[in-house]
């Protein structure tokens, strides 16, 4: 049973190679899965991971999916460093989408250039508020944020369902639970003719830069890391753990809210029940796979986006359900956690 | 009034049943110091496996329940390997298990989306079921509702009255001490996690073969997470878990009777009530730090590896 022994000091090499090992292990396990379904693993990987990247359209779709994932993961990484486990980014995304989408619906018919900026602002506030709620519950009532953020995700889902089948339902939408399609000034402008990638990529790019600077330069970031690694030292130094909780949850709520606006004012173009294919959960994996580092998260975000694209491609050309994306995501997180063990430990040499 | 009260109370018992199974399983795992946040995933894998077994074998829930238990326990072993043998972060491993289980169950379940099963007929216990109010509520349920009560009694008795229960609790309170006197801590935790997985699988099986006998993607709808919250609410005591589960059963069932009771609120608000209630009970129980700290298994969530010193 005792497979491991501690290393004299943590391995820097393993810290950065663990994600690669996890990816290779996921591909191997994926081959087994395809093979057990009587599909050639090589041909399946060709469909899953290569073909999506052989066209301009594919690269545009990759960006469309990577942007929300990267944006959310940047915010989550802040909390994860301080061991604040916000696993309800999906709900904060929905809250942001509702707030931003609400602005678009109430300003329908206006030709103001301020509609989109107002939506972005509303989305950031909506997401931040949905993150502030578990922060309040944690700091005032000691309620664990893991469970409260997750419960709030379900509640946000019901709010969305209520709004699009009630007050905000499109009167000409044949009773489908969806809002009106947003007009052009409520949408991020497209970057290229015929492709879905839009100017919300600059929002994500700005966030990456901001979080990179924050991580490298700010005292707040230092407090977060100390709080996560050595809570006792952090208290002794007089750093406020309440402040850390508030900051982590509000920031991660805000980035998720912005991602929500990016979806409804982007590829989705309205409020409906399918505004996110689980980006809020996948972003947790992205944050860890990217080593909670602003630039690492960018790479991990692209990989996760490729898994989403591959899932869609497999649906079309291999007649596999899209759920295979979830299987790959779960395996990736498992293998990453397993590889991470070898940062501080190694296999026992002698029995 | 009685003709509306009886279906609500009887329905609450049925709605509580998956929470009792999943919650008891998680409670036992947590008493040995392992927090497994993968309950939702194990429940879904159990649900789809039992639905497949019930549909393919033709034996219905009788084949479905054991299949669900096996599938839940098998899924739990993935978690156990990473969280116990490799001592990886338990919370994150549980989350991975949920993501994996949601995907895997949807993947397998695609074949079964248009099937439906006969379900289970309620068993009316002779004489007792004729008692007014109490009879139809308590003694005209399907067999699995009674099985949940038996499981509760077995778990409560084992934990409080047997050597095995003492051992499980000792491993949770002080794995170092249990290891030092020669008990195989990791193996005992494996067992507890497998038991938790099996019960989560049975909870899922109840949903897909008895409660609503059909397969719907994500059909557990957060019940696995509510079960995890119930264990905290119960302060790791089986009797309080049972109470909490019935409370949640009542809240869940209320939405189907709201119109009959003349409550005119949007259906989404009623559907959100169990999740709102979860937050409320977490707040109520967590407010007093001492209550949690006095009952919390001391090694909960902390990995254990018997290092050679």
Q: Report CB contact under 8 Å: A323, B283.
A: no
Check if A148 contacts B (Cβ < 8 Å).
yes
Average of per-residue pLDDT across A328-350: 88
The two beta strands, B123-124 and B140-141, are antiparallel
- pLDDT 10s digits, A239-260: 778 888 999 999 999 999 999 9
A142: how many CB neighbours lie within 10 A of its CB?
15
Domains of chain B: 2-295 (1.10.3470)
Q: Report CB contact under 8 Å: B228, A1.
A: no
Rounded to 5 degrees, φ, ψ at A183 are: -80, 170
Average of per-residue pLDDT across A204-229: 84
Residue of B86, B93, B99 to mutate, testing the A interface (most A Cβ within 10 Å of its Cβ): B99
Q: Which of A350, A340, A247 is nearest to A17 (CA)?
A: A340
- pLDDT 10s digits, A308-324: 999 888 888 888 888 88
**What is the distance in angstroms between the Cα of B168 and the nearest Cα belonging to chain A?**
19
User: What pLDDT was estimated at residue B309?
Assistant: 42
Q: Complex ipTM, two decimals? A: 0.91
Cβ–Cβ < 8 Å for B71, B46: yes
pLDDT averaged per 10 residues in sequence order, chain B, 309 residues: 77 92 96 95 96 86 91 96 91 93 92 78 75 75 88 95 93 91 92 97 93 88 94 93 92 81 83 92 87 85 72
Rounded distance, CA A188 to CA B217, Å? 33
Rounded to 5 degrees, φ, ψ at A273 are: -80, -5
Q: Report CB contact under 8 Å: A324, B96.
A: no
Of B37, B269, B307, the CB nearest to A6: B307
Q: Above 70 in pLDDT, residue A276?
A: yes
What does the domain layout of chain A look like in residue ranges? 78-293
Query: What pTM, to 2 d.p., does this model score?
Result: 0.92
The DSSP secondary-structure symbol of A185 reads: G
Q: Where are the alpha helices (DSSP H) in A166-292?
A: 200-217, 219-229, 231-236, 241-264, 279-289
Residues of chain B with C-beta less than 8 angstroms from the C-beta of A18: none
Q: Above 60 in pLDDT, residue A351?
A: no
Residues of chain B with C-beta less than 8 angstroms from the C-beta of A321: 106-107, 110
Residue bearing tokens 């839940």: B72
User: What pLDDT was estimated at residue A157?
Assistant: 95
Residues of chain A with C-beta less than 8 angstroms from the C-beta of B102: 323, 326, 330
Rounded distance, CA A98 to CA A259, Å? 12
Q: Report CB contact under 8 Å: B272, A158.
A: yes
Rounded distance, CA A215 to CA A156, Å? 30
Write the CA distances from B279 to A243, B225, B286, integer angstroms.
Answer: 22, 11, 10
User: Which residues lie below 8 Å from residue B268, measured CB to CB, with a gap of 6+?
Assistant: A158, A159, A161, A162, A165
Check if A33 contacts B (Cβ < 8 Å).
no
- pLDDT 10s digits, A40-78: 888 888 888 888 899 999 999 999 999 999 999 999 999
Residues of chain B with C-beta less than 8 angstroms from the C-beta of A288: 92
User: Which residues lie below 8 Å from residue B187, measured CB to CB, with a gap of 6+?
Assistant: A1
Residues 194-253 of A with CB under 8 A from B: none
Of A137, A329, A345, the CB nearest to B103: A329
Q: How far is CA B279 from the centre of its chain?
A: 18
Check if A162 contacts B (Cβ < 8 Å).
yes
Of A154, A162, A331, the CB nearest to B275: A154
Which two tokens mark B280?
Answer: 């409320």
| Higher pLDDT among residues A349 and A270, named by residue | A270
Rounded distance, CA A82 to CA A223, Å? 8
Q: Report CB contact under 8 Å: A334, B82.
A: yes
Residues of chain A with C-beta less than 8 angstroms from the C-beta of B186: 1
Q: Above 70 in pLDDT, residue A350?
A: no
Average of per-residue pLDDT across A128-151: 94
Rounded distance, CA A166 to CA A159, Å? 10
How is B94-156 classified by DSSP, letter by letter?
A: HHHHHHHHHHHHHHHHGGGTT------PPEEPTTGGGSTTHHHHHSEE-HHHHHHHHHHHHHH
Rounded distance, CA A133 to CA A129, Å? 6
Of B101, B275, B308, the CB nearest to A155: B275
Average of per-residue pLDDT across A224-231: 76
Residues of chain B with C-beta less than 8 angstroms from the C-beta of A36: none
Give A140's pLDDT tier (boundaries 50, 70, 90).
very high
The DSSP secondary-structure symbol of A346 reads: E
Residues of chain A with C-beta less than 8 angstroms from the C-beta of B266: 162, 166
Check if A147 contacts B (Cβ < 8 Å).
yes
């Amino acid at each position: 049973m005792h497979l491991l022994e501690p290393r004299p000091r943590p391995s820097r090499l393993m810290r950065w190679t663990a994600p690669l090992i996890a990816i290779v292990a996921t591909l191997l396990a994926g081959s087994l899965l395809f093979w057990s379904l009587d599909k050639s693993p090589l041909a399946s990987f060709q469909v899953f991971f290569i073909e999506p990247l052989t066209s301009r359209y594919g690269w545009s779709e990759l960006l469309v999916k990577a942007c929300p994932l990267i944006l959310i993961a940047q915010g989550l990484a802040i909390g994860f460093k301080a061991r604040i486990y916000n696993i309800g980014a999906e709900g904060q995304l929905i809250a942001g989408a509702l707030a931003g989408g609400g602005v678009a619906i109430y300003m329908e018919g206006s030709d103001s250039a301020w509609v989109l900026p107002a939506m972005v602002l509303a989305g950031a506030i909506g997401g931040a508020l949905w993150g502030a709620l578990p922060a309040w519950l944690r700091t005032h009532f000691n309620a664990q944020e893991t469970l409260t953020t997750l419960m709030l995700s379900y509640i946000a889902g019901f709010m969305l369902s209520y709004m699009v089948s009630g007050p905000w339902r499109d009167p000409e939408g044949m009773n489908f639970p969806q809002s009106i399609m947003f007009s052009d000034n409520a949408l991020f402008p497209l970057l290229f003719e015929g492709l879905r990638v839009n100017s919300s990529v600059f929002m994500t790019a700005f966030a990456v830069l901001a979080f990179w600077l924050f991580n490298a330069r700010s005292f707040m970031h230092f407090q977060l890391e100390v709080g996560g690694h050595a809570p006792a030292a952090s208290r002794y130094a007089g750093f406020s753990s309440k402040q850390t909780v508030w900051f982590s949850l509000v920031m991660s709520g805000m980035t998720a809210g912005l991602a929500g606006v990016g979806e409804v004012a982007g590829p989705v173009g309205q409020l409906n029940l399918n505004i996110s294919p689980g980006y809020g959960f996948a972003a947790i994996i992205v944050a860890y796979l990217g080593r909670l580092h602003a630039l690492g998260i960018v790479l991990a975000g692209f990989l996760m986006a490729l898994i989403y694209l591959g899932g869609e491609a497999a649906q079309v050309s291999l007649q596999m359900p899209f759920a295979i994306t979830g299987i790959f995501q779960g395996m990736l997180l498992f293998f990453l956690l397993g590889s991470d063990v070898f940062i501080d430990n190694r296999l026992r040499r002698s029995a | 009034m009685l003709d509306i009260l009886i279906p609500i109370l009887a329905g609450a018992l049925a709605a509580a049943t998956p929470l009792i199974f999943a919650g008891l399983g998680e409670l036992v795992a947590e008493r040995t110091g392992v927090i497994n946040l993968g309950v939702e995933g194990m429940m879904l894998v159990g649900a789809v496996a039992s639905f497949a077994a019930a549909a393919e074998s033709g034996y219905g829930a009788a084949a479905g329940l054991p299949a669900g238990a096996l599938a839940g326990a098998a899924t739990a072993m993935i978690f156990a390997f990473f969280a116990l043998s490799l001592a990886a972060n338990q919370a994150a491993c549980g989350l991975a298990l949920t993501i994996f289980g949601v995907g895997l169950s949807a993947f397998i379940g695609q074949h079964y989306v248009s099937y439906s099963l006969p379900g289970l007929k309620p068993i009316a216990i002779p004489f007792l079921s004729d008692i007014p109010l109490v009879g139809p509520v308590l003694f005209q349920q399907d067999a699995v509702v009674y099985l949940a009560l038996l499981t509760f009694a077995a778990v409560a008795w084992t934990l409080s009255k047997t050597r095995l229960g003492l051992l499980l609790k000792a491993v949770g309170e002080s794995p170092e001490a249990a290891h030092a006197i020669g008990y195989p801590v990791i193996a005992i935790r494996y067992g507890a996690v497998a038991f938790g997985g099996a019960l989560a699988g049975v909870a899922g099986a109840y949903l897909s073969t008895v409660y609503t006998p059909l397969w719907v993607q994500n059909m557990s709808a957060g019940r696995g997470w509510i079960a995890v919250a119930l264990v905290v609410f119960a302060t790791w005591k089986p009797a309080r878990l049972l109470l909490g589960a019935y409370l949640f059963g009542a809240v869940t069932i209320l939405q189907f009777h709201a119109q009959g009771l003349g409550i005119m609120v949007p259906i989404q608000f009623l559907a959100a009530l169990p999740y709102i209630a979860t937050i409320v009970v977490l707040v109520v129980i967590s407010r007093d730090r001492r209550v949690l700290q006095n009952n919390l298994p001391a090694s909960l969530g902390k990995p254990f590896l018997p290092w050679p010193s």
